[in-house]
Amino acid sequence: MTDFTEEELALDPKFADQFERGFRPPCQLYLISPPAIDAAFADSLAAAFDGGKVAAFQLRLKGMDDHAIAQAAEPLQRLCADREVAFIVNDSIALAKRIGADGVHLGQSDGDPREARRILGPAVQIGVTCHDSRHLAMEAGEAGADYVAFGAFYPTTTKETLHRPEPSILGWWTTLFELPCVAIGGITAANAAPLVAAGADFLAVSGAVWNHADGPRAGVAAFSPVLAGKG
């Protein structure tokens, strides 16, 4: 696999009709926390969950140590359990293990998915950032990831990003692989339709929910039509 170039890995359109896309559940929302939160954040998260179905919540607090994140996680993890939302920890396999998270999201320099599996066991969801790379996504799949994440599809102020995939990478992935794919980066209710149409299994969203003019409940609710394919 490591011998292929990105170009070689691209699905040649002339062969596309030879592949049949299997059934996939409708696209779902994967909510990412703001990079910093305050003591009242649990109320905002509850409001977001009131806005519509959220499949997963990722606690992504940057620049804090694991001990502080573990403390902040407690009420949020409880709320997620009550609302049947998967609770995913960003960056840290050790923290995910310590607090018994439902999953961990690993960037390309956050740790090895095989090591994460060894430490966290078979039931914990492991996600891997793959930027705009088919190659990284196939490597993540081979390493036992539960989902691959492509991004940033649109400009974002939440994180400095270097990669800008085309929506077609989602169609390529879902045509060839059963493993779910996540689209991330600058996604709003207004620009999400091409990602849903291309085959994203999940939309990972932060700013569009937390910075929504009418609050996080409205921020989540705004995605309902586009997730239903009516955007």
Ligand X SMILES: Cc1ncc(COP(=O)(O)OP(=O)(O)O)c(N)n1
Q: Which residues contact Mg ion by CB under 5 A? A: 91, 107, 110
**Closest distance to ligand X from the beta carbon of 19 (Å):** 25
- Where does this chain touch ligand X (CB under 6 A) — which range of 42-50, 105-113, 135-143, 166-174? 105-113
- Structure tokens, 41: 């954040």
CA pseudo-torsion sign 177, 92, 206, 41: positive
> Toward ligand X, which CB reaches closer, 18 or 109?
109
Q: Is 14 annotated as a binding residue?
A: no
DSSP 158: S
Q: Which of 51, 103, 141, 185 binds ligand 3NM (CB under 6 A)?
A: 185
Q: Is 58 annotated as a binding residue?
A: yes
Q: Is 129 annotated as a binding residue?
A: yes
Residues 41 and 49: their CA atoms lie apart, in Å, by 12
Alpha carbon of residue 125 to chain centroid? 11
Place of tokens 């609050």: 215
3-state secondary structure of 56: strand
| Interaction of residue 152 with ligand 3NM, rule CB under 6 A | yes
| Cβ contact 136:121 at 8 Å | no
Q: Which of 32, 37, 120, 220 binds ligand 3NM (CB under 6 A)?
A: 32
**Closest distance to Mg ion from the beta carbon of 88 (Å):** 12
| Interaction of residue 33 with ligand X, rule CB under 6 A | no
| Cβ contact 222:205 at 8 Å | no
| Interaction of residue 159 with ligand 3NM, rule CB under 6 A | yes
Q: Is 157 annotated as a binding residue?
A: yes
Site for ligand X in 128-187 (CB under 6 A): 129, 149, 151, 159, 182, 184
Q: 29 - beta bridge partners?
A: 203
User: Rounded to 5 degrees, what angle do the CA atoms 135, 126, 226 make?
Assistant: 80
Q: Site residues (CB under 6 A) for ligand X?
A: 58, 60, 90-91, 105, 107, 110, 127, 129, 149, 151, 159, 182, 184, 204
